[in-house]
Amino acid sequence: MTVLRRFRTGSPAGHRHRPWPSCRHCCGLALDLGSARTRAWVAGRGLILDVPTVTFPGAGAVYPIQRGAIVDVPGTARMLDRLLSHRLPRLTRPLVVVTAPVLDGPAYRERARTAVEVLRPRAVLTVPTARAIALAAGADLALPLLVVDIGAHLTEVVLLLDGLVFDARRTALGTADLAGAGATAEISEAITTMITSMLRQDRTSLTAEALTRGALLAGGGALRPDLTRRLIGGTHAPLRAVPAPHTAAIRGAVKFLQAAHGHPSASGTSPP
């Protein structure tokens, strides 16, 4: 289990955003690059991709993203080129938003930006997956929020404060590991252990407050009643599943993309 203690990251808040333009040269693209599935949304067209994350450099299939990490940057670029280059409007340089696991940090973000360069973006922004989930759920980001994201090969528990990451834990387990006997119990116990660790190490009441309000549950694991029942029993706290939890990250990335259009970095420059 990887541990990240408190840090803050994000863009300045409070600025006004312009509406998304209707010109064909102002394309927007949201990407959720999961180890099992890749999802893409294009402005004006909606969700255009929900496919396995795989590339075919030769005779066999290669999986360029594993356990939430981009292990093959050229392979990821080839996959994006094959899936998206012909789907984007011609002569455009899209503004791209990519979801990023919280605990992979700068390495994931840099690799994602490098892979996305194959699409000739005018700017690439990243948003923590937990924050994207909160945006999709319409959660009140002014209050402490605990997000439990159970993906195919990775599970993260993240505490958000003012929409920014305050604390996080993860385990390399997910719904793809549920085939074995006792796997549901193993994932549930891992999540409960992560939450308990956060409670014990938090010198404030933020984690306890967020848990009392109810953790936000997303990812494919939120569709498993057996897993959610175990989690409720293990944490002794309410859980609030996001509607269509398996697509929450891409829907939140879309909201971030729409808001980010007016941000200074959307032009390819960084804010002060």
Please report, in tens digits, the pLDDT of each residue of the chain (272 residues total): 544 444 344 433 333 334 444 444 568 999 999 999 999 999 889 999 999 999 988 778 999 999 989 999 999 999 999 999 999 988 889 999 999 999 887 899 999 999 999 999 999 999 999 999 999 999 999 999 999 999 999 999 999 999 999 999 999 999 999 877 678 999 999 999 999 999 999 999 999 999 999 999 999 999 999 999 999 999 899 999 999 999 999 999 999 999 887 665 555 444 33
Hey, what long-range contacts does 238-245 have (CB within 8 A, 24 or more apart)?
A: 238/213, 238/214, 239/148, 239/214, 239/215, 240/137, 240/214, 240/215, 240/216, 241/217, 242/133, 242/136, 242/137, 242/216, 242/217, 242/218, 243/137, 245/217, 245/218, 245/219, 245/220, 245/221
Angle between helices 183-201 and 206-213 (to 10 degrees): 140
| 43 phi and psi angles, rounded to 5 deg | -55, 130
Are 187 and 226 contacting, i.e. CB atoms less than 8 angstroms apart? Answer: no
Question: How high is the pLDDT of residue 3?
Answer: 46
Given its phi and psi angles, is residue 10 left (phi above 0), alpha (psi -120 to 50 degrees) or beta? left
Q: Which CATH class is domain 28-131+248-261?
A: alpha beta
Residue 207 to residue 145: CA distance in whole angstroms: 8
Strands 37-42 and 46-52, bridge-based pairing: antiparallel
Tell if the pTM clears 0.85, that is, is over it.
yes
Instruction: Pinpoint the residues of the chain covered by CATH 3.30.420.40.
Output: 28-131+248-261, 140-242
Per DSSP (E only), the strands in 129-177 are: 145-150, 155-161, 164-171
Secondary structure (3-state) at 126: strand
Domain 140-242, CATH among 3.90.1150.10, 3.10.20.600, 3.30.420.40, 3.40.50.1100: 3.30.420.40
Q: List residues bridging with 97 in a β-sheet.
A: 30, 125
Question: How high is the pLDDT of residue 266?
Answer: 54
Question: How high is the pLDDT of residue 211?
Answer: 95
